């Protein structure tokens, strides 16, 4: 029972993901949400910021697929443009957390003991703030803005990522192949780059892809509280808040704001789950 030879290729993994019903469903959702965000201008002819008091609170119709809000803005256009914000924040903030997390994790795992203890203490202290409380406290510092959202995401993600890299690095540090590299005279930088990073980055990327829904939730949640993007920029959370204010009379606004959040988080989660099952079954069940 020898393992199959894995040639690095883009299509093989994609085929394996598509072979799983859940993975195919996830990819379909992600592609639809990404596509509708990228081509928002083409798909929705209306201007998401155009206020038109005459058209206030219109129920969904052919003209306004998802209806209009309290300022008469077209909700379909707002949802699509909101996707641009949500997805760019999600991808950008995740990337930033990954880079910072990897660097700090390697330092903690391979560096001197006191530095490790200090970093771990910082991570534990940051993690001891409940996420929303951290966000609320930070907003008092930055004021409501996208920057605040990105900082919150980075603060929430980095301790976890750095810890994974640290634990794995420490587990590998005493592995024989690392000692072997040391005995051949390899420098610390080379050991980290050639022998440790390739072995620890895979699980982290999978976990990060599974965290994208969390990031989307943070952005939408903060915008829902009015602490994220400033109006009139469209955001799913802000739409949801508009809908919540008018939930008794015009429930479709809340539906329009919630639906893209549900579809996107489900899509990325199903995709991430399948990625993990296919490529790293050992991670199964980890928070």
Partner 1 sequence: MIGYALKRLGLAVVIVSVAMLLLFSMIYLIPGDPAAVALGPRATDAMREALRVKMGLDQPVWVQFWNFFTGAWTGDLGREVLSDRPVAEVVLEQLPFTLALIAGGMIWSIALGIPLGAWAAVRRGSLADRLVGVLSVAVIAVPSFVIAIYALLIFSVSLQWLPAIGAGEAGNIGDQLSHLILPSLAVGLGWVGYIARMVRASMLEVLEASHIRTARAFGLPERMITYRYALSIAILPTVTLLGVGIGQMLSSAVFAEIVFARPGVGKLVYDAILTRNYPLVSGAVLVTTVLFVLINLLADLIVGALDPRVRNRL
Partner 2 sequence: MTVLSIKDLSVSFATEAGTFHALKNVSFDVPERSIVGIVGESGSGKSTLINSILGLLADNGTIDRGSITFEGQELTRLDAQAMRDLRGPRISSVFQDPMGALNPVLSVGRQMRNIQYRDDASAAAKDKRSADMLDAVRIPDPAAALSRFPHEFSGGMKQRIAIAMALMMRPGLLIADEPTTALDATLEVVTLDLLKELQEQVGCSVLFISHHLGVIAKLCDEVAVMYHGEVVERGATDQVFGAPSHGYTRRLLECDPANQHVRTRRLPTMHDEPGSFTPVPVPSLPERPADTEPLLKIRDAEVTFRTGPMFRRKSLKGVGGVSFDLHAGETIGLVGESGSGKTTLARAAARLQALSGGQISFEGRPVHALSPRALQPLRRDIAMMFQDPIGSLSPRMKVGALVAEPFRIHRIEGVNLRKETERLLSQVGLGPEFADRFPHQLSGGQARRVGVARAIALGPKLIIADEPTAGLDVSVQGEVLNLLNDLRERLGLAMIFITHNLHVVRHVADRIAVMYLGKFVEMGETDRIFAAPEHDYTKKLLSANLAGPGVSA
The C-alpha atoms of residue 214 and residue 219 are separated, in whole angstroms, by 9
The site for partner 2, by CB under 8 A, has a size of 21
Residue 39 binding partner per list partner 1, partner 2, none, with a CB distance cut-off of 5 to 8 Å that depends on partner kind: none
- Kind and range of the H or E run holding 235: none
CA R_g for the chain? 22
CA 272 to the chain's CA centroid: 11
Site string for partner 1, 240-259 (x = CB under 8 A): x--xx--xx--x--xx--x-
The C-alpha atoms of residue 69 and residue 129 are separated, in whole angstroms, by 35
Residue number, 128 or 188, with CB nearest to partner 1: 128
10 Å CB burial of residue 65 (0-12, 13-18, 19+) is middle
Q: Is 147 in the site for partner 1 (CB under 8 A)?
A: no
Ranges of beta strands (E only) in the chain are none
Residue number, 221 or 234, with CB nearest to partner 1: 221
Residue pair 269/210 in contact by the 8 Å Cβ criterion? yes
Residue number, 168 or 274, with CB nearest to partner 1: 274
Choose, by CB under 8 A, the member of 9, 45, 140, 183 that binds partner 2: 183
10 Å CB burial of residue 249 (0-12, 13-18, 19+) is exposed
Choose, by CB under 8 A, the member of 103, 126, 175, 180 that binds partner 1: 126
Choose, by CB under 8 A, the member of 14, 32, 175, 262 that binds partner 2: 175
Residue pair 250/243 in contact by the 8 Å Cβ criterion? yes
Residue pair 85/145 in contact by the 8 Å Cβ criterion? no
The C-alpha atoms of residue 257 and residue 260 are separated, in whole angstroms, by 7
Q: How far is the CB of 183 from partner 2 (least distance, A)?
A: 4
Q: How far is the CB of 129 from partner 1 (least distance, A)?
A: 5
The H helix count followed by the E strand count for the chain is 12, 0
Residue number, 92 or 142, with CB nearest to partner 1: 142
Site string for partner 1, 22-61 (x = CB under 8 A): x---------------------------------------
Q: Is 113 in the site for partner 2 (CB under 8 A)?
A: no
Residues that bind partner 2 (CB under 8 A): 1-3, 5, 175-177, 179-187, 190, 194-195, 198-199
Binding footprint of partner 1 on the chain (CB under 8 A): 22, 121-122, 124-134, 136-141, 213, 216-217, 220-221, 224-225, 227, 240, 243-244, 247-248, 251, 254-255, 258, 261-262, 265-266, 268-270, 273, 284-287
């Amino acid at each position: 029972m020898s393992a199959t030879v894995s040639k690095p290729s883009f299509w093989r993994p994609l085929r394996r993901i598509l072979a799983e019903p859940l993975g195919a469903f996830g990819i379909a959702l992600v592609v639809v949400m990404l596509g509708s965000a990228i081509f928002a201008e083409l798909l929705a002819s209306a201007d998401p910021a155009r206020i038109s008091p005459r058209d206030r609170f219109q129920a969904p119709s052919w003209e306004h697929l998802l209806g209009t809000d309290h300022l008469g803005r077209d909700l379909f256009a707002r949802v699509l443009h909101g996707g641009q914000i949500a997805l760019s924040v999600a991808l950008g903030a995740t990337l930033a957390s990954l880079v910072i997390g990897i660097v700090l994790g390697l330092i903690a795992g391979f560096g001197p003991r006191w530095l490790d203890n200090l970093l771990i203490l910082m991570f534990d202290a940051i993690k001891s703030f409940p996420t929303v409380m951290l966000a609320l406290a930070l907003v008092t510092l930055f004021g409501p803005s996208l920057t605040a959202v990105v900082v919150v995401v980075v603060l929430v993600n980095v301790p976890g990522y750095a810890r994974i890299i640290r634990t794995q690095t420490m587990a590998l540090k005493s592995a024989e192949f690392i000692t072997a590299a040391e005995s051949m005279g390899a420098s610390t930088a080379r050991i980290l780059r050639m022998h440790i990073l390739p072995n620890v980055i895979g699980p982290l990327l999978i976990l990060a892809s599974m965290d994208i829904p969390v990031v989307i939730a943070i952005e939408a949640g903060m915008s829902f509280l009015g602490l994220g993007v400033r109006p009139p920029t469209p955001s799913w959370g802000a739409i949801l808040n508009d809908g919540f204010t008018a939930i008794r009379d015009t429930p479709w606004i809340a539906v329009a704001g919630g639906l893209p959040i549900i579809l996107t988080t489900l899509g990325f989660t199903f995709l991430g789950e399948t990625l993990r099952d296919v490529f790293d079954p050992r991670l199964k069940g980890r928070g």
